[in-house]
Structure 1
Amino acid sequence: MLLFIIFSIFFSFDNVLLITLDTTRKDYINEKFSPFLYNFSKNSLSFENCRTPVPLTLPAHTSILTGLYPKKHKVRNNSSYRLNDKIKTIQEILKEKGFKTASFVSSFVLNKSYNLSKGFDLYDDELLENYDKKDFEMEERKAEDTAKRAINFLKKNKDEKIFLWVHFFDPHYPYLNHKEAPDGFSNYEKEIYYMDIYLKKVVEEFLKERDGLIVIVGDHGEALGEHGEETHGVFLYDCVLRVPLIIKNTKENTGKKIFENVSLIDIFPTILDFLKIKIPENVDGISLFKKIEKRNFYFESFLPSESFGWATPFSIFDGKYKFIFLPKKEIYDLEKDPKEEKNLIEKERKKAKDLFDLLQKEYTIKYEPREKLNLSIEDSKKLESLGYFSGSKPSEKDPKDLIWVVKALEEGKKFAEEKNYEKAKEIFSKILKGNPENYPALIQYGTVLREENDLDGALEIFKKARALNPTFIHSRFNLATIYFEKNNLKDAEDEFLKIIDLLPSFSESYFYLVRIYLQKNDIKRAKDIIEKAKENVKKDANLYFFEGLICARNSEFEKAIYLFENSLKYNPNYFDAKFNLAQSYYKFGKKELALKNFEESLNLNQNFPQIYLIIASIYLYDFENIEKAKEYFNLFLQKFPSHPEASNVKEILNSF
Structure 2
Amino acid sequence: MLLTAPGCGGRDARLPGVNLVIITIDTLRFDRLGCYGYESIRTPMIDEWAREGVLFRDAIASVPLTLPSHTTFLTGQFPPKTGVHDNGAYTLGEEKTTIAEYLKKAGYQTGAILSAFPLNRKYGLNQGFDTYRDDIPREFVLYDERLISGPKAYNLQFESEQRRAEQVTPLVKEWLDSLNDDPFFLWLHYFDPHGIYDPPPPFSDMYSDLAYPSDLYDAEVTYLDHHLRDVKRLLEDRGVYDNTIILFTADHGEGLGDHLERYHDQFIYDTTVQIPFVIAGGAVPDEWPRMVSAPVRSADVLPTFLELAGVSHEDDIDGISLVPYLDGVEPFPEDLTQYVESYSPQHNLCVRLFGLRKNGWKYIEAPTPELYNLAEDPGETTNLADRHITKAAELRQELLAMIDSAEDIPEEVDFESRKKLEALGYIQRTERRIEMAENQEADPKDMARSIDGLHESMEYFTYGMLDSSLAVSLRLMEIFPGQPRIYDNVGNLQIRLGYYEDAVRTFRGVIQTQPRYIKGYFWAGMAYLRLEQFPEAARYLGKASAMDPTLDIARYNLGVALARSGDYSNAVREWETLIQNGSDDRSIQLAKRSMVDVKKALEEAKETGRPIQIETD
Question: Normalization by structure 1: what TM-score?
Answer: 0.68
Contact 1:309 1:437 in 2 (8 A): no
**SS state at 2:192 partner:** coil
Residue 217 of structure 1: aligned partner: 249
Instruction: Give deviations 1:215-259, integer Å, cap 9, x for gaps.
Output: 111110111111111111111111111101111353336451111
Percent sequence identity is 27
Residues in 1 aligned to 2:292 and 2:412: alpha-carbon distance in whole angstroms? 39
- From the superposition, tell whether residues 74 and 317 of structure 1 become closer, same or farther in structure 2 (CA, over 3 Å): same
1:274 Cα shift? Answer: 1.1
Aligned with residue 453 of structure 2, among 408, 417, 434: 408
User: For residues 542 and 307 of structure 2, what CA distance do their matches in structure 1 show?
Assistant: 57
> How do residues 146-545 of structure 1 correspond to structure 2 at under 5 angstroms?
146-157=168-179, 159-181=181-203, 182-183=206-207, 184=209, 186-208=215-237, 209-210=239-240, 211-248=243-280, 250-252=282-284, 254=286, 256-291=290-325, 292-293=332-333, 294-305=335-346, 307-364=347-404, 369-376=408-415, 378-391=416-429, 395-413=440-458, 414-415=460-461, 426=474, 429-430=477-478, 433-435=481-483, 452=527, 453=529, 454=537, 457=540, 476-482=551-557, 485=560, 486=562, 487=570
Q: Is the 8 A contact 1:459 1:482 kept in 2?
A: no
Q: What SS does structure 2 have at the residue aligned with 1:408?
A: helix
Q: Distance in 2 between matches of 1:490 and 1:95?
A: 57
User: Contact between 1:50 and 1:242, CA under 8 Å: does it hold in 2?
Assistant: yes
Unaligned runs of 5+ in 2: 1-6, 36-40, 326-331, 433-438, 493-518, 530-536, 563-569, 605-610
After the TM superposition, which residues 132-143 of structure 1 pair with which residues of structure 2 at under 5 Å, given as runs?
A: 132=142, 134-135=147-148, 137=156, 138-143=160-165
CA distance in 2, matches of 1:161, 1:33: 33
Give 5+ residue unaligned stretches, structure 1.
501-505, 520-548, 550-575, 577-607, 614-641, 646-656
- Structure-2 separation of matches of 1:349 and 1:132: 51
State the match for 1:127 in structure 2: 137
Number of the residue aligned with 1:26: 30
Cα distance, 1:426 vs. partner?
Answer: 3.2
Distance verdict in 2 for CA 1:53–1:499, change over 3 Å: farther
Rounded Cα–Cα distance in structure 2 between residues aligned with 1:390 and 1:65: 27
Q: 1:89/1:455 Cα in 2 relative to 1: closer, same or farther (>3 Å)? A: farther
* Superposition deviation, residue 483 in structure 1: 5.3
Letter in structure 1 aligned against 2:372: Y
For 2:511, the equivalent position in structure 1 comes to: none
TM-fit CA distance, 1:442: 10
8 Å CA contact 1:415–1:423 kept in 2: the answer is no
Q: How many residues align?
A: 508
Using the TM superposition, name which of 76-85 and 313-322 deviates more.
76-85
Judged with a 3 Å threshold, the aligned counterparts in structure 2 of structure 1 residues 494 and 609 are, in CA distance, closer, same or farther, namely closer
Q: Which moved more, 1:218-227 or 1:410-419?
A: 410-419
SS of the residue corresponding to residue 65 of structure 1 reads: helix
Distance 1:489 1:299, change over 3 A: farther
Matches within 5 A, 1:105-124: 105-124=114-133
Distance between the aligned counterparts of 1:124 and 1:450, measured in 2? 45
Alignment deviations for residues 606-628 of structure 1 (CA, whole Å, 9 cap, x no partner): xx999xx9xxxxxxxxxxxxxxx
Query: 1:494-515 CA distances to partner (integer Å, 9 max, x unpaired)?
Result: 7776667xxxxx86798799x5
Secondary structure of the residue aligned to 1:49 is strand
Counterpart of 2:418, as a letter, is S
* 1-structure distance, mates of 2:455, 2:384: 33
1:288 shift after superposition: 1.2
Residue of structure 1 equivalent to 2:38: none
Distance 1:425 1:24, change over 3 A: closer
Alignment partner of 1:78: what SS?
A: coil
Which has the larger displacement, 275-284 or 170-179? 170-179
Secondary structure of 2:188 counterpart: strand
Q: Distance in 2 between matches of 1:319 and 1:497?
A: 59
Amino acid across the alignment from 1:303:
S
